[in-house]
Amino acid sequence: MLLLRLILLNAFRHRLRAVLTIVGVAVALTAFGLLRTVLDAWHAGVEASSANRLVTRNAVSLTQPLPFAYKGRIRQVTGVDIVAAGGWFGGVYLDEKNFFPNFAVEADDFFKLYPELIVSPEEQKAFLSDRKAAIIGRKLAERFHWRIGDTVTLRGTIYPGQWPMTIRAIYKGARPDTDETVLYFHYGYLDETMKKRAPTRAGQVGFFMIGIRDATRAAEISKDIDALFHNSQAETLTETERAFQLGFVAMSEAILLAITAVSYVVIAIILAVAANTMAMSARERLGEFAVLKTLGFGAPALAGMLLAESLLLALAGTALAMAVLPPLAKGFAVGLAQYFPIFFVSPTTIMLQAAFGLAVGVLAAAVPAWRVAAVRIADAFRRIG
């Protein structure tokens, strides 16, 4: 008990320096946690992918369409369970500042593929029975204060014109990483309208979402699907939903590498600051350590005391960072909802914070503790003198 009291008193002997060290560790680990959360938000689509879903798109580019007629042939491939056509609509609500993702999909089959989109049976029935209906995510409804029955008009950018639709359902995500900021409407509404406005663009889709029974056969089924359209005017590229999402993430690889590097640089800086604090503390108390050695304290005991002081300061900063990060991330999530629809602190990030806090505490004390343990009593007194 006396030893613990001695460690506590020595750790806070210079209160301002101790408090600044704790705050420094907390700020650094909070910054690290936020950067990690940004990376997680970037990969949210990948993590939410299902192993039982494939995506078939044009082999040339995602921007090139595929004939809707491909659906019947894909459906006949052995192992394929469900096929739903869809496409990026790219509509704008009022102006570009109100960006949110919106897709035209074959609703009935599409929602069988996405059981994580939870909607009440009544609202689902109302949505499926109305050709001009839309279903939106909970966060999107909260953002624009939309309710069931409201009419929303999107201005088409890829498909010119005004596109009014009625909100018939609001879905919730079954998991924290489910995107609740998307608007879906019927592909039939899009296709029928295009037949009137631009007949040459009718009968085309952006992609096919495919449900398969056995995830272990994903590669084989993908190969079989692409073989159907080999040497055709619109060859296909079929891949797992995870690979499809990773393709989007890879476009920002340089940015992600930079964020990762900065997050680790932050840890390195705070390690240097904490190490300097412990080195100053050890140097200032060299005479005291010499006295303790004279009284019979061994080198391991003195090194252990210095290590305990370092851990005390580092873990206090770590605890503060772990307490501050979730509410801070929640605030960021509200402010950045337009760019990061999924933004929450993962358990992995919390564990990394704790691990790095512990590592900073140990490493910062390593060199000062070794010096205190190694210095001879006479040398210590001579240096003080």
Q: What is the pLDDT, as a whole number, of residue 1?
A: 67
Over residues 76-82, mean pLDDT: 93
DSSP 326-372: HHHHHHHHHHTTTT-S-----HHHHHHHHHHHHHHHHHHHHHHHHHH
Q: Give the tokens for residue 11.
A: 């750790």
User: Alpha carbon of 320 to those of 19, 21, 84, 350: distances in Å?
Assistant: 12, 12, 48, 12
What pLDDT score was predicted for residue 179?
87
DSSP strand pairing (161-173 vs 133-137):
parallel
Mean pLDDT of 340-345: 80
Residue with tokens 């089924």: 221
Stated pTM of the model: 0.75
Confidence of residue 238 (pLDDT cuts 50, 70, 90): very high
Instruction: Report the alpha-carbon angle 350-356-361, nearest 5.
Output: 130
Question: Across residues 333-354, what is the average pLDDT?
Answer: 83
| pLDDT of 176 | 80
- The dihedral formed by the CA atoms of 348, 353, 355 and 358, expressed in degrees to the nearest 10: -160
Mean pLDDT of the chain: 88
Which amino acid belongs to residue 83?
V
Q: Please check the confidence at residue 384 and state whether its pLDDT lies above 60.
A: no
Give 383's pLDDT tier (boundaries 50, 70, 90). Answer: low
- In this prediction, residue 104 carries a pLDDT of 95
Candidate from 37-46, 153-162, 213-222, 303-312 with smallest mean pLDDT: 37-46
Compare 6 and 164 and report the one with higher pLDDT: 164
DSSP 45-76: HHHT--TTEEEEEESS-TTS-EETTHHHHHHT
What pLDDT score does 288 carry?
81
In this predicted structure, the answer to whether residue 385 has a pLDDT above a threshold of 60 is no
Q: Is the pLDDT of residue 326 over 70?
A: yes
Is pLDDT above 70 for 7? yes
CA 328 from centroid of its chain's CA atoms = 15
Question: Which pLDDT value is given to residue 147?
Answer: 94
The predicted pLDDT at position 6 comes to 81
Compute the average pLDDT of residues 30-53. 84
Are 182 and 158 contacting, i.e. CB atoms less than 8 angstroms apart?
Answer: no
Alpha carbon 212 to its chain centroid, in Å, reads: 27
Query: Average of pLDDT values for 115-122?
Result: 91
Longest CA–CA span in the chain (Å) reads 97
Residues 43-73 pLDDT 10s: 777 777 788 899 999 999 888 999 999 999 9
Residues 6 or more apart in contact with residue 245 via CB below 8 angstroms: 45, 46, 49
Please give the average per-residue pLDDT across 299-304, as a whole number: 86
Output the six-digit token pair for 311: 């851990």
Q: Tokens at residue 236, please? A: 């296909």
User: Which residue would you say has higher pLDDT here, 303 or 238?
Assistant: 238
Q: Which of 28-37, 126-135, 248-257 has the lowest mean pLDDT?
A: 248-257
DSSP assignment of 115-146, as one string?
A: TTEE--HHHHHHHHH-TTEEEEEHHHHHHHT-
**Binning pLDDT at 50, 70 and 90, where does residue 330 land?**
confident
pLDDT digits over 9-26, tens only? Answer: 888 888 888 898 899 899
Q: Counting runs of H as helices and runs of E as strands, what totals does the chain give?
A: 15, 12
Domain ranges of the chain: 1-46+252-382, 60-234
